[in-house]
Amino acid sequence: MPKKIVIIQARMRSTRLYGKVMKKVCNKTILEHDILRISKSKTIDEIVIATTDHPVDDIIVEQANKLQVKFFRGSEHNVLSRYYFAALDNNADIIVRITSDCPLYDWQVLDNMMGYFETHDFDYLCNFLERTYPRGLETEIFTFNSLEKAYFAAKTDSEKEHVTPYIWQNPDLFKLQNWQAKINNSHHRWTLDTEEDFLLINTIYKHLYPKNNYFTTDDILGLFEAIPNLFQINSHIEQKKTLDMKVLFRTDSSKQIGTGHVIRCLNLAQKLRSYGHEAKFVCRDLESNIINSIINHGFKVFLLKKDKLNRENNNELFHNSWLETSWENDAQETINVLDEYQADWVVVDHYALDYKWENMVRGTANAKIFVIDDLADRRHNCEAILDQNVLLAQDIQYKDLIPKNCKKFLGPEYALIKEDFWVERKANLLNNTAFIFFGGIDLPGATLKVLQVLININFTGKVNVVCGSPNPKIKDIQEVCRNNKNFKLFINTNNVANIISNCSFGIAAGGVNTWERCALALPTLVFSIAPNQEKISQDCEKANLCSYAGPIEKLSQDRIKDFIENKSQHLSIAASCLMKFKNSTINYLLTELNFI
């Protein structure tokens, strides 16, 4: 009997949605759901996870071991070679190709197609040469001989990346057949490439999984009949296509700057990528930067070296020291990058740069300029500006600071936060769990100070602590959390939305995380840890979106204790957040700028 194996390709560094295979639905990862559903097949002998040899994919190997599924590690970009050697290593005669972003996969499709394949003389059978199935149920079945021919004959990057094009683009060399469904449901999209896809998949699981862990295609279609608007959640998403626009981000992170500027740019870059655009970054190699985080999310970084000779910025700006070089030098280095990477847009998120830098860059490059700011303290020459921190007096913000035809996107509804903060929707106000976060670096050591206060006041609830590895007090924080069983530490986590949604209140800084907490309606006591956080924290308190306790230097044990015990204030703040943050308007912004 021929040996039939399913090879599931999986990696963390997905170009559209980083880490998607490890996102969780109903307490299981996407990859785990994929494996469990395929395991229901009665026609296959084995499942093999084909992942990459990059260290970031160690977590996928751990998942395979946990589920007692074989794995193979190979080239990240030459997926064809990964498949070939995985099949060779496991003595496969017939290979089924299914991708790891299909947590709604129906094993019945596989069994029906395998029965047909085994009773006919085909080299290759799939169900998408002429589509009748929803995206997310794609299935390919082919012989090892066909895979081997493709491996040795494929020449283009596309043939190597997408595994089977050499086979189905050469009908004169291979016996091909397309499998069709009785009813055409190809207008449905059940694959996972974007946050909107995840929202749909999560919603389907919440409705069907509790009743039947192994619900079928018919069950999903029945759900769509019961809730007709459900499919519209991701109906606007197009399948990955040729890249449209090129976007270059100029931003930095450091011990002095923090990580918030990079994080919000990274969120925007991921959103742009989900619509088929290309994004790259220009960052200076400053102390305690998080450039590796950008790279690990699959984005190229043009690295600007430290300027040892000229570290002074002669721009008369309050934050000019953040650049650690002259603005002219920084502009010229960015122009050098633009000579190589001819971007359509340059996105600038940097307090140390203003209209002079922008004039010099636009004088050489043809790119449009999009500024992200939250200070309104300097002039800009740009086509568009975004300031998510403008809560009050929007009509006078940036008056005389930007060109008259500049498009303004002002207010927290344009907050550059990940889609899952809108998906999770609200915090749990009843479980007496604290959320502690003072930024990725937390130079004043606020995290440690607040944890000590919670110990001193004998707080009996759970405490979820989030911080970045560059935090100078990280070892002390780890020690405190080890010694207190109710304290749980999350370092460099990508799962902040889920953490917040399981908390009842927060004690945090007034940085970028402000809008993430507000989107999830988490009542928070805020301490500012930098001067630029003071105004937005004051404005948030005026709008009843938080309780502001002042700069961290004024930390008061009594103030923290009073806030924790004031449950009526928690409910009031949560209600205000829910009213203010009904949904994200980031798609409106992208439409206005012709990205979608």
Q: Looking at residue 533, which CATH number applies to its domain?
A: 3.40.50.2000
- Cα separation, 266 vs 280, whole angstroms: 10
Q: Please indicate, yes or no, whether residues 41 and 163 belong to a single structural domain of this protein.
A: yes
In the chain, how many domains are there?
3
Q: Please indicate, yes or no, whether residues 380 and 451 belong to a single structural domain of this protein.
A: no
Q: What pLDDT is stored for residue 317 in this prediction?
A: 83
Q: Does residue 212 lie in a domain region?
A: no
321-332 mean pLDDT? 92
Q: What percent of the chain is modeled with pLDDT above 90? A: 65
Run of H or E residues at 410: strand 407-410
The distance in angstroms from the start CA to the end CA of the chain is: 51
Q: Please indicate, yes or no, whether residues 110 and 139 belong to a single structural domain of this protein.
A: yes
Which structural domain, as residue segments, surrounds residue 37? 4-190
Contact (CB, 8 A) for 447 and 465: yes
Run of H or E residues at 292: helix 291-296
Q: Please indicate, yes or no, whether residues 547 and 447 belong to a single structural domain of this protein.
A: yes
Q: Does residue 201 lie in a domain region?
A: no
Q: What pLDDT is stored for residue 315 in this prediction?
A: 62
Q: Does residue 206 lie in a domain region?
A: no
Of 496, 581, 507, whose CA–CA distance to 266 is shortest? 496
Q: Does residue 596 lie in a domain region?
A: no
Contact (CB, 8 A) for 511 and 260: yes
- Cα separation, 369 vs 251, whole angstroms: 13
* Alpha-carbon dihedral sign for residues 123, 128, 133, 134: positive
Q: Is the pLDDT of residue 232 over 80?
A: no
554-564 mean pLDDT? 95
Q: What is the pLDDT of residues 361-371, one digit of tens each?
A: 988 788 999 99
Contact (CB, 8 A) for 481 and 471: no
Helix and strand tally (H, E) in the chain? 22, 22
Q: What is the mean pLDDT of the chain?
A: 90
Q: Which residue has the higher pLDDT, 434 or 592?
A: 434
Residue entry with tokens 């700011």: 373
Q: What is the pLDDT of residues 403-415, one digit of tens each?
A: 999 999 998 888 8
**Three-state SS for 192?**
coil
Among 190, 221, 236, the domain-final residue is 190
Q: Please indicate, yes or no, whether residues 164 and 17 belong to a single structural domain of this protein.
A: yes
Residue 355 CB neighbour total at 10 angstroms: 18
Provide the b/e sequence for 436-473 (b: ≥16 CB within 10 Å): bbbbbbbbbbbbbbbbebbeeeebeebbbbbbbebbeb
Contact (CB, 8 A) for 179 and 125: yes
pTM as predicted: 0.58
- Cα separation, 31 vs 54, whole angstroms: 18
Q: Does residue 238 lie in a domain region?
A: no
Contacts of 447 (CB under 8 A, 6+ apart): 436, 437, 438, 465, 467, 471, 473, 477
Q: Does residue 36 lie in a domain region?
A: yes
Q: What are phi and psi of 351, to 5 degrees?
A: -65, -20
DSSP conformation letters of 144-165: HHHHHHHHHH--SHHHHHSSSH
| Strands ordered across the beta sheet of 384-387 | 301-304, 278-284, 246-251, 345-349, 368-372, 384-387, 407-410
Q: What percent of the chain is modeled with pLDDT above 70? A: 94
Helix ranges restricted to H, 177-288: 195-208, 217-226, 260-274
472-500 mean pLDDT? 93
Q: Please indicate, yes or no, whether residues 518 and 396 belong to a single structural domain of this protein.
A: no
Among 164, 190, 216, the domain-final residue is 190
Q: Is the pLDDT of residue 563 over 70?
A: yes
Q: Looking at residue 303, which CATH number applies to its domain?
A: 3.40.50.11190
Q: What pLDDT is stored for residue 507 in this prediction?
A: 97
Of 84, 276, 93, 240, whose CA–CA distance to 166 is shortest? 84
Q: Is the pLDDT of residue 357 over 60?
A: yes
Q: Does residue 81 lie in a domain region?
A: yes
Q: Is the pLDDT of residue 312 over 60?
A: no
Q: Please indicate, yes or no, whether residues 404 and 446 belong to a single structural domain of this protein.
A: no
Burial class (CB in 10 A: 0-12, 13-18, 19+), 591: exposed
Q: Is the pLDDT of residue 313 over 60?
A: no
Q: Looking at residue 73, which CATH number applies to its domain?
A: 3.90.550.10
User: Sorting pLDDT into bands at 50, 70 and 90, what band is 141?
Assistant: very high
Q: What pLDDT is stored for residue 113 in this prediction?
A: 97
Q: Does residue 576 lie in a domain region?
A: yes
Q: Please indicate, yes or no, whether residues 316 and 456 belong to a single structural domain of this protein.
A: no
**Three-state SS for 178?**
strand
Q: Please indicate, yes or no, whether residues 269 and 341 belong to a single structural domain of this protein.
A: yes
Helix ranges restricted to H, 90-178: 107-118, 144-153, 157-161, 165-168
Beta strands in 45-120 (DSSP E): 46-52, 70-74, 94-99
Among 388, 410, 432, the domain-final residue is 410
Q: Is the pLDDT of residue 394 over 80?
A: no
| Strands ordered across the beta sheet of 46-52 | 70-74, 46-52, 4-9, 94-99, 140-143, 124-126, 176-178
Q: Please indicate, yes or no, whether residues 81 and 170 belong to a single structural domain of this protein.
A: yes
Q: Which residue has the higher pLDDT, 386 or 236?
A: 386
User: Sorting pLDDT into bands at 50, 70 and 90, what band is 243?
Assistant: very low
Contact (CB, 8 A) for 251 and 353: no
Of 530, 525, 523, 534, whose CA–CA distance to 578 is shortest? 523
* Alpha-carbon dihedral sign for residues 578, 579, 581, 584: positive
Q: What is the pLDDT of residues 18-75, one digit of tens each?
A: 889 999 999 999 999 999 999 999 999 999 999 999 889 999 999 999 999 999 999 9
Q: Is the pLDDT of residue 142 over 80?
A: yes
- Cα separation, 370 vs 348, whole angstroms: 6
DSSP conformation letters of 481-525: HHT-TTEEEEES-S-HHHHHHT-SEEEE-SSTHHHHHHHTT--EE
Q: Please indicate, yes or no, whether residues 439 and 546 belong to a single structural domain of this protein.
A: yes
- Cα separation, 287 vs 266, whole angstroms: 19
Burial class (CB in 10 A: 0-12, 13-18, 19+), 119: exposed
Residue 258, Ramachandran bin (φ over 0: left; ψ between -120 and 50: alpha; else beta): left
464-493 mean pLDDT? 94
186-209 mean pLDDT? 91
Query: Which two tokens mark 508?
Result: 């945090």
- Cα separation, 546 vs 576, whole angstroms: 9
Q: Please indicate, yes or no, whether residues 355 and 442 belong to a single structural domain of this protein.
A: no
Angle (deg, nearest 10), helices 446-456 and 474-482: 20
**Three-state SS for 369?**
strand
